[in-house]
Amino acid sequence: MNSTSTYKLPFIALSIVLVACFFVNISFGSVFIPVKAIFKSLFGAIDNTSWQYIVHHYRLPKAFTAILAGSGLGVSGLLMQTLFRNPLAGPYVLGISSGASLGVAVVILGAGISGSILSTLLISKWSLVIAACLGSFVVLLAVLAISNKVRDTMAILIIGLMFGSITTAVVGILSYFSTAQKLQQYIFWGFGSLGNLSWYELLIFFIVYSIGIILSIASIKALDTLLLGENYARSLGLNIKRNRFIVILATSFLAGTITAFAGPIAFIGLAIPHLTRQIFTTSNHKILLPAVCLLGAIVMLICDTIAQLPGSDYTLPINAITSLVGAPVIIWLLLRKRKMVF
C-alpha cells in the first residue's frame, strides 16, 4: 500500500551511497595514499607508518565528524521546520548557530580577558560544547518567544538574522579586548573545519550528539502531530509546552555541539530536509528522521571531499563549500515554490 509504504528501496540505496562516500572521503587528502593501502590500514597495520597515522588519526576522525555534523544539522533543520512550521527554518537561518558561536566566542575570547590561569581551565573541549549548547538554547528560546507574538514566517527569519547581527556585534566587542592569539584561534574556528578532532573530542561529540538524536526520536510523534498546527495538536491531547521544550533541547544539543566542534556550518540544516522530501514524499517523521540523517551525512561527506581539493595541498573552509552547495539548492526550491511546502 502506497500510503503506508516504508521506503525500503531508497533507504537501502542511500545506505550504500553513504558507505561509498565514506570510502571516497577517506581515500582523498593532501597526501596521496593508494586505495589498497587505505583498506589495509583499516583492517590492520601496514608498512608505511605515516600513511597508517594519517588514516587513523586524521582521515577517519574527519570522516566520522562529517557524518555526525551532516546528520545532526539535517535533523536540527527538520526539527526547526516542523516546530516553527516554516519551510525556511534551519539552525543557521534562525540564528541558532550564531548563538552557539557566541557561546564559543565567550569561552575563547572571554577566557583571554579573564586571565591566563582561568583560561586553561575554561578552554577544555567540554566547556566549549556546553557554552555552544547554552548559546543556541538561549537564542532558540528567544526566537520561540518572539514567534509566539509574530505569526509571520518572514518576520521570524528576519529576527533570526538580527540575532546573527547581535552575535557578530558582541563578538566584535569581545575581539577588541582579546589577544591576537585568541582572536586567531576564534577566526580559524569560525571558518569551520571537520578535521583536527582527536578521538577523545570525537567521543565527546558523539555523546552530546546521541543525546540530541535520542531526544529527537522521542519527539517523533509530537512532531507528526505538530504538522497539523498547534490548535489541532492540542485537541489531539499533545502537551505542547513539554514537547516543544524537548524539541528545543534536542536542537540545542545538536546545533551546539556541531558548532562547537566543526564551526558554524551554513545551509546544511536548511537544505537537507528539503532534499530529503524530494526523495521521500512523506511528512511522517518516522521516515524523515532516519532519511535526513542518511542524506545529511552523505552531503557532508561529499562537501568535505570537495573541500579537500583532491590532489592539492589546499583545504578549503568547509563553510564555503556547504554554502556553495546549499544556497543554490534553496534558491532552486524557492523557484519551484510548491516543493517548498514542508
Q: Which residues bind other proteins (CB under 8 A)?
A: 2-4, 82, 85, 217-218, 220-221, 224-229, 231-232, 234-239, 277, 281-284, 286, 338, 341-342
Nearer to other proteins, 36 or 338 (CB): 338
User: In angstroms, what is the minimal distance from the CB of 216 to other proteins?
Assistant: 12
Nearer to other proteins, 284 or 315 (CB): 284
User: In angstroms, what is the minimal distance from the CB of 246 to other proteins?
Assistant: 12
Nearer to other proteins, 5 or 49 (CB): 5
User: In angstroms, what is the minimal distance from the CB of 185 to other proteins?
Assistant: 43
Burial class (CB in 10 A: 0-12, 13-18, 19+), 81: buried
Nearer to other proteins, 162 or 340 (CB): 340
User: In angstroms, what is the minimal distance from the CB of 256 to other proteins?
Assistant: 25
Nearer to other proteins, 1 or 9 (CB): 1
User: In angstroms, what is the minimal distance from the CB of 11 to other proteins?
Assistant: 17
Alpha-carbon distance of 148 to 331, in angstroms, equals 27
CA dihedral angle for residue 296, residue 223, residue 219, residue 104, rounded to 10 degrees: 50
User: In angstroms, what is the minimal distance from the CB of 65 to other proteins?
Assistant: 29
Nearer to other proteins, 67 or 289 (CB): 289
